[in-house]
Chain A
Amino acid sequence: AQKITQTQPGMFVQEKEAVTLDCTYDTSDQSYGLFWYKQPSSGEMIFLIYQGSYDEQNATEGRYSLNFQKARKSANLVISASQLGDSAMYFCAMREGPGNTGFQKLVFGTGTRLLVSP
């Protein structure tokens, strides 16, 4: 069975600094995908970034990048130039099964709460 581990319950960072949120995963599948979601205090889940297991380049979306180290089974989220609005819970997730078209079940980690201070 697939498993996502996020070992940092909370992280603090100063505004404008970069921060790395850790995520390790366990799977026996060759094909898999990794996601990061943001959950602000308002509660909704917001998709940030996706990395496929066969993608050799780290995914990037604006200030978000995913540091994908396949051999170490880690998929850390890097937020550059933190902003106050980045304060939120962040969840790492993995899709179960191959990445073909169709509904993809997700397995979520327990989350990391990020607090950005002025």
Chain B
Amino acid sequence: NAGVTQTPKFQVLKTGQSMTLQCAQDMNHEYMSWYRQDPGMGLRLIHYSVGAGITDQGEVPNGYNVSRSTTEDFPLRLLSAAPSQTSVYFCASSYSIQGPGGTYNEQFFGPGTRLTVL
């Protein structure tokens, strides 16, 4: 299994350009999500999906769109890139697991995409 794959690994954009960050998982997980990681901060949730055709906003959704047409793929679109979107972007897939401490999502993260907007 490849797990969670993300492309590209690195990207440089100019302000105003648009692009799509790709994410795919081969574990048949229900849930997928996008986070951004900025220096000195923890990961913040951008958008998430609980299944094909169902998406919702996270903590920092502005400037990003998502769609989920299949279980495997969850692309993140930047509509008009801004310098404030310079960040490392992580995609994750997850499923619910019953453990001794209750039910939780076990998340599997991709390797990340480092995006710079000039």
Contact = CB atoms under 8 A, between A and B. Distances in A.
Contacts of A91: 42-43
Grouping DSSP codes into helix (H, G, I), strand (E, B) and loop, the A interface class, with mixed when no group exceeds half, is loop
Interface of B: 30-31, 33, 40-45, 48, 50, 58-59, 88, 90, 92, 94, 96, 99-112
Interface residues of A, number: 34
A57 B31 CA distance: 29
Task: Name the residue among A43, A106, A111 with the largest chain B CB count within 10 angstroms.
Answer: A106
A45 B109 contact: yes
B109 A50 contact: no
Contacts of B110: 44
A50 B104 contact: yes
A55 B103 CA distance: 11
A108 B102 contact: no
Contact of B31 (A31, A45, A103): A103
5 contacts: A47-B106, A50-B104, A99-B102, A103-B50, A105-B59
